[in-house]
Structure formats: C-alpha cells, structure tokens
Structure 1
Amino acid sequence: MNISTFNIQPTSRFAGSNTTIRRPREIACFSYDDQRQFHLGETSLRYYYPPRLPADLNRGFDTFQQLDDSADEHLDALLQTIIALEKETGKKCEADIITWRGMMTKILVAPFDIMNGFEMNATRFQDTIFIEENNAYKNEQKIRQRNQRMPPGMASQDLMAYWGYKFETLCLLRQPWDPTPREEIESREEQIVNNSSQYCSVVRTGIGSTRIVIGGEVDAVWDCKPDRKEDPIHWVELKTSAEIHSDRDMLKYERKLLKFWAQSFLLGVPKIIVGFRDQQGIIRRLEELETSSLPVKVKKYGKGVWDGNICINFAAAFLEWLRNTIHGDGTWRIRKLEKSPVIEVFKVEEHGFGDILSPAFSAWRST
C-alpha cells in the first residue's frame, strides 16, 4: 500500500500570519426536525435568550430523546442542499473541498491536538475533493469513550454529554424574544431535550489557495438573520465548561478553547457563550467570548498552549498538499493515529466514490 504522509511537527515551520482567509459566508442552509427528517431552509433556526441562573443541567436526563447517530449519513444532506442551490442559481457550486465542519475542525487543530486521532474518507469528483468522517472509526471511538472509567465523584460520559444539550435547550427560543410569550421563556427548564433537531449552515470560505464549502450545525442567532445575504450573521455557539479553580483547570480550559475557536472560526460564528458549571452540573455563570479575539487572548494572557496563526498556516499547507495527493478515481483514507506527528493519506478503493457521493448528487452533476 502506497502511503503519502504530511508532517505536523515541528509546528514552528507554520509560524507567522501570511495566510489569506476568505470570510465564511452562508450560501444555503437546511434543517433536521425532531424526528431527524431533512428539510431545506431554516425551520430549525433558534434564537438565543440567556437562561435563568443557577441552572441545573441534570433535570430531564431520564426523558432525554437522544439521536442514534451510529448510522452513516455520509454527506447526503449537504449534497442535497447543494443540488437545490445549483438548481436555484443555475450555477455549479465551485470548490476545491466540500465537507462537514467537523472534518475541517480536526484538520485545523491538528498541530496542537497530538493525542487524538481521526479517520476520514475522501474522493475526487469533477475536480472537487469530498471528505466525510469514517463512520466505523467514529463509532469505535464512541464505544471506547463510553467505556472509560471516570474518576470518583465525576459524572458519567452520557450525563456530561446530556449537560451540553440541556444547556442549549435552556438558552434557545423558537422565535425571537419579542414575540415569545413569557411562560414559554420561563418553561425552558421543563422542556424535553431532543438533540435530533438542528439548523445547518452551508458556507463558502477559503484558507490559503483552497476554496472550501462547509456544512455545520449552528446553535442560535443572537438577534435575526439579516435580509441581505452578504451581511454577516450574528451567530452564537453555546458551550459548557467546568469552573476553573487551579492552573491545571486553566490548562484544560485553554485546550478546550482551541476547539471552540476552530469550530466557530470555520463557520463565521462571531460569539461563543460558555456556561461554567460545577462538578454537580449546575451552571453558575455565563461568559461571552469573541471568536476573533480568542487566539490573542490565549497567547497574551493564558498558558499559550495553542496558536491560531499556526493552525491556519498549517491547514493552508496541508489542504494544498492534499489537493495534489488525492487524484483520479477511487476512495482515499485520511488518517492521523493517536499521538502521531503525521497525517497519512492512502487509497482504500481503486474505483468509485465509496458511498461518499449520493447517487442523486452524482446523477445531477452528470447531467
């Protein structure tokens, strides 16, 4: 097997701030409803309104309607949205790479996330590389995580995952604050948590010479979406984190901030709201963070455990290399082993798209 490798280390070779970045701009959107049914448009768009504090994130865990995400959804919803966009505009959605935000996040944070691994599948079609998560690998990781023994006094992995979804439910409204009845705002604590419903933004962006189209979930909008498509949208990303009591806690929090920043940066989300919780899952305070100022904040006032410019320069160099490495027909694997300083790329199938492209998309593009 012929394996091509891209070195992540030493990160110093990606220092500086010379990479051009194209501001992410929404070109389309789609929604999943509470039954995980796909809909074009913004039916699942939610609006931010702060929760009442202190907020107990444990409430309703026994009625949690949890999405079973073990099935492989591939890029189907994203590609369906692109078909609709191309029909509407009469133009091909040109990009060097089309993928989910989650895949781009893993690539962007790779220089400072050596401990974790990833596996993706990719194929080239009409000069665009389409990248999805390797679902078998994702499911293996989830089982490993679930079986991890938590330290005494710590909540289970399942409960901690629920805390994140509960926090979102406590912060969201189905319509803007003004027309929302007071009882609806105040009854959010009683609402059954369902994580099937999602609003997904499809954005056009670029890092270095690589043009990218990304689809990713957005938690909420601060006010309303603007009428003009070219205007920036005041998106909000919602996160929870443990309260900081020591230097060690601060270090853990800064590592978390790397992922928070990368996810929001890629979709053009300007604001992150963090709910700080105690060990019992009670939110005590909220903090608003500006996505654009996070790298400077970490570098200047924190432990300096990551550097945003290095991440961006690395991603630019890696994506350019990837475009020269994945060529011709077939399916490829993009893999980073845990603790490995290299990303490997190799062919797993000589021909075809390996289910990465939906039949509807390849048929549409071939007409």
Structure 2
Amino acid sequence: MRPISKFNGPKLTLKFPKEIACFSYDDEHQFRLDDSSIKYYYTPSLGTDLCEGFENFQKLEDSGDEHLESLLKTLINLEQKTGQKVEANFITWRGMMTKIRNECHDISRNNVWSLVLVESTAEVVSFIEENYTYKLQTKNEQIEKPTPRGRHSQEMMSYWGYKFETLSLLPRPWNETSRDHIETRNNLIVNNKAQYCSVVQTELNGSTMILGGEIDGVWDIKQNDGMPVNWIELKTCAEARNERDLDKLDRKLMKFYIQSYLLGVPKVIVGYRTSDGILVNVEEIQTLNIPNIVMKRKHLWDANICITFLDSLLKFIRTTITKEPQNLSVDDAPMWRIRRNKKEFAIELFRVEGNARSILSPEFVSWRLELASKQN
C-alpha cells in the first residue's frame, strides 16, 4: 500500500451505477421487495436540538449475522423475472467497497472482511461480506470505552444522525404531505428500522460489480424510466471552528464522497451541529465536487488515488482466486479473508475454513443451480 503515490496513475472512472433492483425494510425492519420505504427531502429547521427524543429512540438492534440475505433475495427475484443470471465479478454491500476504498488513506483502523468465492458460468464471482465476529468485537470495545468528561456518549452522537434524517425526510412528496406533519417533524419518534435499499450495477476498469446499499432519500421523486435518480445522502458533522476541525471535516468528506459515488448518489446534504448537538447549518454538496473542495484546502486525500487503489486491489483479488481450480461445487468453493491489521500497510488475502454455504443462503444456492440447469 505504500507509497500511496504509486496509485497516482492515469485517471480512472467508475461506470455510472445503474439501479437494477431495489428492496425495502418497513418500520419493523421486515424485508419487502418494493420501494415502499423511499423518503423525500424537505429542508430541516435550524436550531433544533438533535438530542431530543433520544429516550424514545426505536433502534434497530443487531439480531445476528444477516450475511447477504436481502441482497440475494432481491437478485433471485430479478433473475426469475428476466430469466437471466446477473453477471458480475463482485457482489456485495456498498459498505464493503467503501471500507476497501478508504484503506489507501486510513491506517488507523483494524479492518477485516470475509470473502467467499463461488463458480459462475464464465468465471469466479466474489461475494463479499463483513467479518461478523470482528464486527461484534469492535462494537463491544467501543461500548466499553469510557466517555470523555463533558462529552456526549457514542450512542447519543450516533442518534444525532438518525434525528437529522427524521427532521429532513418526509414519507411522501412534500405536495402530498400536510403542513402539520412538516412543522411537527421534531416531535416524531426516531426509528432507524425502515430503509430503502438500491441495488446497482457498475464497473471499474474491467471489474464488474453488483452493490446493494441504503439510500437516505430522494430530492424530488423517483422516476421509473431508467434515468438517473436525484438521490441524496444525509450526514451530520461538527461545525468547523478552526484548522483542526477543517482537517477532520475533509477526512469525513472522503467517506461521504466514496459512499455516495459508489451508488450514484449525486448530492450530499450535511447538517452541521455544535458539540452539544444543536443543528446550526445545512449545506448541499454535489458529490462529484467534493474532491475539488478538499483539493483547494490541504488536499488530505485524492479521489483518483482512492479509485486507482480500489482497481488494483480488485485486480489482485481476481488474479489470486482464479489460480484456484475451476468448476468447483458449492461445497468445495473456498472462503477467503481479506485483512489489514491496525497501522500495518500490507493487505492480506488468505483462505480460511468454510465454503460458499457459509455466506450464501440455501435459497440462493438452490436458485442458481436451477438457473444453471435451465441455461445448459
């Protein structure tokens, strides 16, 4: 991974992500094969205390390792409709690609992923998910870490983001929403169980990807005509009062940019807050303009280096796994782990115990076998 400058090559561009399917989770986090959980943006009121309602927060609890379950269900439904297999080199959540792509500029965290590989019609497909054991370990370490005196807890600060979403989103377009609902959004109970998730197809320099990820909302409406949608990503951030705060903001902007870029979200809306959680400003930023904003300051990260690094890593994964025997059964398809330990520059890719069934649902395995038999 070092020196970073070795990834500063010819400019690469991600093929614009195209939505091929979607799904929703309702207010009880029940899976639905529709777009019923889309939310619509409406400017929030400044001066709102983001701490309000914390005691009534209906939080989505971690109920265990969900693997790629919802994404795979959605792909099954799509393939059953079209009768064609969705082809890609990588199938994963957007969050996994965000983690990988962050690596070239972030050496402070110990990130772990699990990778499982199964046989495709023409080549190996990598299904990527987070290492759940490591995820729980990291979460518990954060919970056990004492809160510095005079600061809000990590749970409260996480709540601020969900509160900002509640203040900024409507369940229907604004012209179909009552004035009373718009003006009393601050009184709504915050619930992060409902989600709209987009499934997109994209490509980076020959590596094709199917990515699933949550979309916060839409600027206007979603047209079902195949044209790009004016999605928005909502974020909260401490107001920048000095040079150090600006540096923190620029590093956060890298994550905002990558998350939005990978799903084709054109606009990021940032709610700036005080250290006590008071919303003081809202800024609308065009996703593709974020690298220019950072470049005009200290240039703490480079968008092209991020994408060139991702391209190199994806090619490394594909080259390594294709050395394995092909035409393996689901039970013989190996599981791999990709890992970078804390403050180390090397990224490891190695085989671990398990096979495709460790990650892929029985329903998906059965469907892909059935589809393959129909196409032979």
Provide the residue aligned with 1:151 in structure 2: 148
Q: What is the CA distance between 1:17 and its match in structure 2?
A: 3.7
Provide the residue aligned with 1:366 in structure 2: 369
Unaligned 5+ runs, structure 1: 1-7
Is contact 1:31-1:44 (8 Å) kept? yes
- How many angstroms apart in 2 are the aligned matches of 1:227 and 1:70? 33
Residue 138 in structure 1 maps to residue 135 in structure 2: yes
- How many angstroms apart in 2 are the aligned matches of 1:57 and 1:20? 37
Provide the residue aligned with 1:193 in structure 2: 190
Letter in 2 for 1:42: D
Return the TM-score normalized by structure 1.
Answer: 0.95
Residue 10 in structure 1 maps to residue 3 in structure 2: yes
Q: What do residues 225-256 of structure 1 show as CA deviations (whole Å, max 9, x unaligned)?
A: 12311x11100000000011111111111111
Provide the residue aligned with 2:83 in structure 1: 90
- How many angstroms apart in 1 are the aligned matches of 2:63 and 2:313? 29
Residue 237 in structure 1 maps to residue 261 in structure 2: no
Provide the residue aligned with 2:169 in structure 1: 172
Residue 330 in structure 1 maps to residue 326 in structure 2: no
Provide the residue aligned with 1:4 in structure 2: none
Q: What is the CA distance between 1:343 and its match in structure 2?
A: 1.1
Q: What is the CA distance between 1:334 and its match in structure 2?
A: 0.9
Provide the residue aligned with 2:110 in structure 1: 117
- How many angstroms apart in 2 are the aligned matches of 1:118 and 1:356? 19
Q: What is the CA distance between 1:149 and its match in structure 2?
A: 2.7
Counterpart secondary structure, 1:53: coil
Q: What is the CA distance between 1:304 and its match in structure 2?
A: 1.1
- How many angstroms apart in 2 are the aligned matches of 1:232 and 1:302? 31
Q: What is the CA distance between 1:153 and its match in structure 2?
A: 1.6
Letter in 1 for 2:310: A
Return the TM-score normalized by structure 2.
Answer: 0.93
- How many angstroms apart in 2 are the aligned matches of 1:296 and 1:151? 35
Q: 141-150 or 202-211: which moved more? A: 141-150
- How many angstroms apart in 2 are the aligned matches of 1:243 and 1:150? 20
Counterpart secondary structure, 2:249: helix
Is contact 1:51-1:170 (8 Å) kept? yes
Provide the residue aligned with 2:271 in structure 1: 275
Q: What is the CA distance between 1:9 and its match in structure 2?
A: 1.3
Give the aligned CA root-mean-square deviation in angstroms. Answer: 1.1
Q: What do residues 128-152 of structure 1 show as CA deviations (whole Å, max 9, x unaligned)?
A: 1100001111111111112223332
Unaligned 5+ runs, structure 2: 325-332, 371-376
Q: What do residues 182-206 of structure 1 show as CA deviations (whole Å, max 9, x unaligned)?
A: 1111121111111111100000011
Provide the residue aligned with 2:178 in structure 1: 181
Letter in 1 for 2:363: A
Is contact 1:64-1:194 (8 Å) kept? yes
- How many angstroms apart in 2 are the aligned matches of 1:70 and 1:235? 29
Letter in 2 for 1:81: T
Residue 67 in structure 1 maps to residue 64 in structure 2: no
Q: What do residues 73-97 of structure 1 show as CA deviations (whole Å, max 9, x unaligned)?
A: 0000000000001011111100000
Residue 30 in structure 1 maps to residue 23 in structure 2: yes
4+ residue runs over 4 A deviation: none
Letter in 1 for 2:128: I
- How many angstroms apart in 2 are the aligned matches of 1:274 and 1:255? 14
Provide the residue aligned with 2:248 in structure 1: 252
Provide the residue aligned with 1:161 in structure 2: 158
Q: What do residues 5-34 of structure 1 show as CA deviations (whole Å, max 9, x unaligned)?
A: xxx111101103432421111100000111
Provide the residue aligned with 2:257 in structure 1: 261
Letter in 2 for 1:319: L
Candidates 316, 330, 347, aligned match of 1:343: 347
- How many angstroms apart in 2 are the aligned matches of 1:203 and 1:69? 25
Letter in 2 for 1:292: L
- How many angstroms apart in 1 are the aligned matches of 2:37 and 2:321? 36
Q: 145-154 or 167-176: which moved more? A: 145-154
- How many angstroms apart in 2 are the aligned matches of 1:70 and 1:245? 39
Q: What do residues 153-195 of structure 1 show as CA deviations (whole Å, max 9, x unaligned)?
A: 2110000000010100110100101110111111211111111
Provide the residue aligned with 1:129 in structure 2: 126
Count of residue correspondences? 357
Q: What is the CA distance between 1:354 and its match in structure 2?
A: 4.6
Provide the residue aligned with 1:319 in structure 2: 314
